[in-house]
Amino acid sequence: MATSRLSAWDGGCASQLKIILLGGRNCGKSSVGNLILGKEEFVTRERTSCSRRLGVVAGRWLTVVDTPGWWCDFSSQETSELVKREIVSSVSLCAPGPHVFLITIKASSGFSEKRRRAVEEHVALLGERVWSHCMVVFASADGAKRTGAEELVQRGGEALRWLSGKCGQRCHSVTSGDDTEVAELLEKIQKVVAGNGVFDMQESVLQATAEEKRRVEERARQRFVRMKKHRSLMRESLRPVSYLRIVLVGAKGSGKSSTLNTILSRESGRRARRTARCLVGKGVVFGRQVTVVDTPGWWMNYFCGESPVFDRRELLLGSSLCPPGPHVFLLVVRVDRAFTETYRRAAEEHLRLIGDHIWSRVIVLFSFGDWLGPTTTEQCIESEGEPLRWLVERCGNRYHVLNNKTKGDGFQVRELIGKIEEMLAGCDGCRHRGIEREVVEELEGEMRREEERAKERLMRKEKQRKMARSQLEKLNPITELRIVLIGGRRTGKSSCGDTILGRECFHQETQTACCSEKRATISGKAVAVLDTPGCFSVTSDLLHAASSVILLVVNVSSSFDADHAAATEKQLEAGGGQTWSRAAVLFSHGDWLGDTSIEQRIESEGEPLRRLVERCGNRYHVLDNKHRGEGAQVNELIDLIEETLAGDRLAILPRGDHVWIRDSLRDVTPCEEDLKMITRCRRQLSHDLTASANPTTQTSLNRSGGPGSEIVALPAGRTARTGLNILERDRFLSCLASMLSGEAAPRWTVDLPGVWLPTDDLHLRLNGARRPFSSTRPTVLLVVPRTQQGMHAEENGLGVHSLCQPALRGRTLRRLSEAGGLQALIDQWDNSSLEELEAFIDSYSEMIWEQTMGSFQEPVRPTAAEQEAVVEEEEEEKAGQQEVLSSIDRKLSKLELLEGIRMDLAELRRSLENSWGAIQEVRGKSKQDDDHVDTKME
């Protein structure tokens, strides 16, 4: 470096300046060190030990120490002990202490909250006082345009602003080869030195670190000697093999697939994605026929019971793919990651699935060997601590390191095969016996059955979605959506929220403690996403809007047992039965599926997950939060949400002044039961029709209403003794409130008397204001009887044919009401054909309309002009109502009604057959008793 470029910095500077470089992997630390020293002193690659270089710049000595980097998004707990120890010991290389720590950040990379926490935790290894000696340096790539540090901080977001503030706003940006930038950096460093002096770390900490390093090196030397001695003994009985069968096992991301390609000396021909099914590779390696089986991995911190059933089964079946059985199991472990007790236990439990006896055939294979650099494998093992040492000892001190980046001439693979043959010499060359053939056949049979069920589920889903899309054609497009994310811990709710909104909105690194709502525009729709805590319970107020939907987030990479199902269902209980019609299952960690389908995972996981999906109407979707793509998966999710809401939107669709016939005529379960009819008219029903419908409510309903009266019909399946359940009241009053206010989806609450009958003290609270039923626009509640006394209808001669004949309709309606209602007719439909039932549905709808419109009474005789206007209005209304009935009610209800009737008839047939059998049995027994009595009398 030229002396002239630093002349401005030269004045007043100390004779020596000591700098330590800190930062994540591939952040550009080594390049910054070379830039400061003015020459290529540091090799720009990852290292596991500190590297110190000296240089003279403008007549001043500079000491620059480059430290090992950490994975940028990993916490300090995930960083190997070797790296953390080197970061601390770097201070001892700058005696009596460093002047400044340069935290290097790549200028072109985003700086997330997770990355900020990683910096904070790793720098904190040096103590809290270190922050007064820290400066942030932004490193730009070669040829990149330089951006000022202040601008980078402001653009970087809250996380980067926090780091800048923690370092006292000391920031600088550099690009390669710019002398002015380096001069400015050294001037800023000089200011730090003038204000703080030398960083002084406790001597006891440095001594303890140095002592630990010495002990590690001693233990590493002893382990190496033991390993060499054991291999020497095995070579004496070594017998080379012609065939070699290898099974790779290990955690997700450990490098199993890369290891397979390295062993077989081939390039990967498939897109980089998780291995979800066992893969088999074959080849000739150094004169031997080698078969390598790659198995699905597990999460490093998931115990065996937390892994999905599908993955556990694949791991077990891996041994059967290299008959007659594998010679060796290679347990692949990343050498560049921490290895904790949790990771050790996870490995032990997953290998136990294959069998406790396999440990004599397991070799620990360390992947990512390029990361070690000059550090030996033994030093890494001894540095990491007891969990890794236990694992290596459990495998008989058998281990090997593989560098999958530089395959070279195959020396490392040749060495691995030699170690495998030495292990086989100690086992007398016998193979692993594997699992029993009967077990394999049973598992394969179960997999075939699951595949069939998966195909059926997919076909059902597509059929349902096709029907839902046909319903959407009758509705206006939704412009606003509110998505409520529900699920337990570690399900990925926050990540799903970020994927849906297309940006980082929720804190994924920390557990969600309170509800948080964020918004974005997606495909022209205003979408709000509500992220909830793991124990959050859904309440009905979350679904007051017709565009609100619940997504039950399930982690597809984890098991889903009965406890998970019970916890999820409990979260939805507070919202009532309505929540399930608005719910869908959202599977997170979609990348975990690999080349398998979500239907296969649903079927393999067991009854709890299948039941949850069914309760949500077989509505489900998968999100890959790791590979978000161009938003196609989010658009598909929005489509599914619209289809989910279609049914409820049709149910509350305003019908003007028309009669509204709702749902099928059959009973459904109480949690899903809906009001059968809600009708809004401008005329009051006649006294005769009201009385014939329900005489018990005649007094309360016999109120004359003038023009503009509201008439609402609801079923009386529950009488005044039981009342309507909360859900029915809510849904009925929601529609009623909308009618009275003339507004769409008003906010309302209700004050109900103890007995649910239409009385004068029934009030609505519309948009926060208490409002009784209008005296100027009186409202009549028509309670239509609905019983299951089918025999009454039969005794009175009611049937499908009588309702299909116009001449009999009037008399039939009265007899129907007296006999116990429409359900009585349903109960005796056993002998009717579907064509007759279809004709009945049409005739019944027309009959209800004619009886309703023909029974209006006018309490005050209008003038001639008013009468003419009323007649014209009625004709227009009648034409519109007839059109609605023919175009909507018939089309939407007919198929659903027929399907419901068919199910009821089948159930009725079974019931009658059972009853008739019981009667016959009783008659036979009675006859036997009579014969026995007659015999005694004789």
Q: What is the pLDDT of residue 312?
A: 96
Residue of 142, 167, 143, 141 whose CA lies nearest to 153 = 167
At which of 365, 399, 434 does a domain end?
434
Q: What is the pLDDT of residue 652?
A: 67
Query: If you write DSSP's letter for every residue of 652-665 in order, what string do you get?
Result: T---TTS--B-S-S
At which of 434, 467, 483 does a domain end?
434
Number of domains in the chain: 4
Looking at the fold, whether 176 and 249 belong to one and the same domain comes out as: no
Contact (CB, 8 A) for 112 and 159: yes
Looking at the fold, whether 682 and 591 belong to one and the same domain comes out as: no
Whole-angstrom CA distances from 122 to 41, 95, 138 are 25, 21, 18
Q: Give the pLDDT confidence of 81-129 residue by residue, as tens digits.
A: 999 999 999 999 998 899 999 999 998 888 988 899 999 999 999 999 9
pLDDT < 50: residue spans in the chain: 1-13, 655-809, 813-814, 816-817, 819-826, 828-832, 855-860, 884, 888, 890-892, 933, 936, 938
Looking at the fold, whether 364 and 449 belong to one and the same domain comes out as: no
Measured CA angle at 584 (ends 580, 588), to 5 deg: 140
Q: What is the pLDDT of residue 547?
A: 85
Looking at the fold, whether 31 and 126 belong to one and the same domain comes out as: yes
Task: Tell me whether residue 180 is exposed, middle or buried, using C-beta atoms within 10 angstroms of its C-beta: 0 to 12, 13 to 18, 19 or more.
Answer: exposed
Looking at the fold, whether 428 and 455 belong to one and the same domain comes out as: no
Q: Which residue segment(s) compose the domain that 710 sits in?
A: 670-900
Retrieve residue 604's tokens: 């393999």
Q: How many CB atoms lie within 10 A of CB 906?
A: 11
Looking at the fold, whether 39 and 125 belong to one and the same domain comes out as: yes
Flag whether 651 is in a domain.
no
Residue of 67, 58, 70 whose CA lies nearest to 17 = 58
Flag whether 652 is in a domain.
no
Q: What is the pLDDT of residue 743?
A: 40
Contact (CB, 8 A) for 48 and 86: yes
């089948």: which residue's tokens?
906
Alpha-carbon gap, residue 562 to 565, rounded angstroms = 5
Retrieve residue 303's tokens: 């115990």
Looking at the fold, whether 630 and 691 belong to one and the same domain comes out as: no
Cis check: omega of the bond before 96, within 30 degrees of 0:
yes
Q: What is the pLDDT of residue 261?
A: 92
Q: What is the pLDDT of residue 668?
A: 33
Looking at the fold, whether 538 and 456 belong to one and the same domain comes out as: yes
Q: How many CB atoms lie within 10 A of CB 452?
A: 10
Looking at the fold, whether 831 and 700 belong to one and the same domain comes out as: yes
Alpha-carbon gap, residue 487 to 319, rounded angstroms = 36
Whole-angstrom CA distances from 68 to 52, 72, 124 are 12, 12, 15
pTM above 0.85? Answer: no
Flag whether 659 is in a domain.
no
Q: Which helix (H) or strand (E) holds 430?
A: none
Flag whether 709 is in a domain.
yes
Looking at the fold, whether 294 and 373 belong to one and the same domain comes out as: yes
Looking at the fold, whether 297 and 342 belong to one and the same domain comes out as: yes
Task: Tell me whether residue 788 is exposed, middle or buried, using C-beta atoms within 10 angstroms of its C-beta: 0 to 12, 13 to 18, 19 or more.
Answer: middle
CA 63, distance to chain mean position in Å, is: 51
Beta-bridge partners for 529: 483, 518
Alpha-carbon gap, residue 268 to 579, rounded angstroms = 47
Flag whether 911 is in a domain.
no
Q: Give the pLDDT confidence of 591-624 residue by residue, as tens digits.
A: 999 999 999 999 999 999 999 999 999 999 999 9
Query: If you write DSSP's letter for every residue of 854-907 in order, what string do you get?
Result: HT---SSPPPHHHHHHHHHHHHHHHHHHHHHIIIIIHHHHHHHHHHHHHHHHHH
Retrieve residue 243's tokens: 């065939």
Alpha-carbon gap, residue 281 to 759, rounded angstroms = 79
Q: Tell me the CATH number at 154.
A: 3.40.50.300
Alpha-carbon gap, residue 335 to 405, rounded angstroms = 14
Flag whether 384 is in a domain.
yes
Q: How many CB atoms lie within 10 A of CB 917?
A: 10
Retrieve residue 677's tokens: 């009819």
On the CB side of 529, CA atoms within 13 Å amount to: 28
Q: What is the pLDDT of residue 550?
A: 93
Eight-class DSSP state of 46:
-
Alpha-carbon gap, residue 178 to 752, rounded angstroms = 79
Q: Is 68 helix (H, G, I), strand (E, B) or coil?
A: coil
Retrieve residue 5's tokens: 């470029």
Phi, psi of 793 (to 5 degrees): -65, -40
Q: What is the pLDDT of residue 820?
A: 47
Q: What is the pLDDT of residue 836?
A: 56
Looking at the fold, whether 269 and 376 belong to one and the same domain comes out as: yes
Alpha-carbon gap, residue 342 to 405, rounded angstroms = 28
Flag whether 657 is in a domain.
no
Flag whether 218 is in a domain.
no
Whole-angstrom CA distances from 546 to 18, 621, 747 are 65, 21, 12
Contact (CB, 8 A) for 520 and 506: no
